[in-house]
Amino acid sequence: MLTIAGSDSGGGAGIQADLKTMLALGVHGMSVIAAVTAQNSVGVQGYWELPPEAVRAQLDSVLGDIGAEAVKTGMLASPRLVTLVAEVLAGVNAPVVVDPVGVSKHGDPLLAPEAVDVVKTRLLPVATVVTPNLWEVEQLTSVKVEDEDGLRPAAEAMLELGPAWVLVKGGHLPGPPVDLLTDGTREFRFRAERHDNRHTHGTGCTLASAIASHLALGEDVPGAVGKAKQYVTGAIAHGFPLGAGIGPVDHAWRWR
């Protein structure tokens, strides 16, 4: 399975979280690094996108020789990198999970404002599943979700941008977290216990990678999302303090 995303020097999110998730779920992880962040438990101190030719070379190298049973995208930083990745993925015969990363857990921007339209017009139409949180839904569609009743209109607005499935993550709503998955016809709601744990760095990356991992293993989309939700819920429950801020989820919780 291939992740195309940014590197998190603190190890809790991004490429590092993706590869840990893949290993935990039994798939071989490969990576194309689109950007490098200076990042720790208290925030993102800076990021540097890689040149398009470096990203293209990584994609050609991995896909030309090994191939991928599923692909996950995360932080792509700029319009030119979003465009490049979308062009390549349009020719890949594998499910694509798009995590439309806009900001970090700490509120630091990870996507240039001018790249938002490119994500909408180029990347989302090639997505098998897109996994926005409520802030990303608003960024991409201008739909603001205030409660669980707002999840369906948000998902419908996301579907209009072209993905096959949308998983709107409702973790930032009050009460027990609920996520809504739909392809416009079928609808599934995934509920979980809310754990009293602030160490949740990397949850979005981890969930998207877990979905892609289960798709690579042959699950259908609802089945992959259900298993990924169980894995992430356990990882959040076992999240641990690291540094002075928001610690990571525990990707290896099932092994301990």
The residues that are catalytic are 169, 200, 202-205
In a 10 Å sphere around its CB, with 0-12 CB exposed, 13-18 middle and 19+ buried, how is residue 106 labelled?
middle
CA angle 12, 118, 163 (to 5 degrees): 75
Contact 240, 12 (CB under 8 A): no
d(CA 235, CA 254): 8
d(CA 255, CA 215): 22
Supply the angle between the helices 14-25 and 221-237 in degrees, to the nearest 10: 110
CA 47, 170, 27, 59 torsion-angle sign: negative
d(CA 85, CA 210): 20
